[in-house]
Amino acid sequence: MKRDLLKVGILKTGRPPKPAIAQFGTYPEMFMNLLGEDAYAWRTYAVDEGDYPEAPEDCAAYIVTGSSAGVYEDEAWIGQLMAWLRAARGRTKLVGVCFGHQAMAQAFGGRVIKSPKGWAIGEQAYRVLSREPWMDEASTIRLPGSHQDQVVEPPPGADVIAASEFTPYGALAWRDQPAISIQLHPEFEPAYAKALIEARRGKVYTDEQADRGIVSYDGPDDRARVGGWIRRFLET
């Protein structure tokens, strides 16, 4: 671990489909690629396997990854993660992405459900509702989405900072602790996002849904911009 680098932990809550890992890496590796492998002193904790820091203060910040699980599921590791998040409140910085966004909302008093709206797949556009100190002047962001679960009641102490009509609680910033979260996936490269859609074609998504999601990646996205936002949040 390099001296003087900010210590950032990644709480791994799931993994990509096995065939995709060789080409695209694990979720922790995707975040390291997005934010800079040499930018921080990284440490991964497989919380879906019961691996946790000894104390929240072991790292200056933690990123909670995506997962195929639902935060409302009766799994022991999910309950353990919720308890850890509540214990970590105010003692370290927290960043949640997709499942991590939902887990933080649920842990801190919000509510998450499997949405009757169905799946959000492909590039999704959010309006920026609140320009935080770690953000630039963008009025919209466009990032990969892959979710059916949604936050339907935000937790006390958190403001909605970006959203769409489909996902009205798409990104949150807490005012009572150093914590932010987003439903979309800045860590997903478009090639991986398309591979994930293809892996679920005919099983999770219809051909029409899959085709629409694939085509959406022909346009630009804001992965680099939102990655910069996360870095500035971690470092200020």
Residues annotated as catalytic (active site), given as ranges: 98, 185, 187
What residues form DSSP beta bridges with 125? 142
User: In this structure, how many other beta carbons lie within 10 angstroms of the beta carbon of residue 2?
Assistant: 10
CA atoms within a 13 Å half-sphere pointing along the CA-CB vector of 79: 4
Judge contact between 154 and 105, C-beta under 8 A: yes
Which residues are within 8 A (CB) of 225 and not within 5 positions of it... i.e. 6 or more apart? 136, 138, 141
Please name which of 51, 70, 50 lies closest in space to residue 9, comparing C-alpha atoms.
51
Between CA 112 and CA 179 the distance in angstroms is 18
Which residues are within 8 A (CB) of 129 and not within 5 positions of it... i.e. 6 or more apart? 160, 161, 162, 163
Q: Which residue has the tokens 């029409």?
A: 208
The CA–CA distances, whole Å, from 67 to 99, 141, 190 equal 6, 22, 18
User: In this structure, how many other beta carbons lie within 10 angstroms of the beta carbon of residue 14?
Assistant: 17
Cα angle 119-72-178, degrees, rounded to a multiple of 5: 90
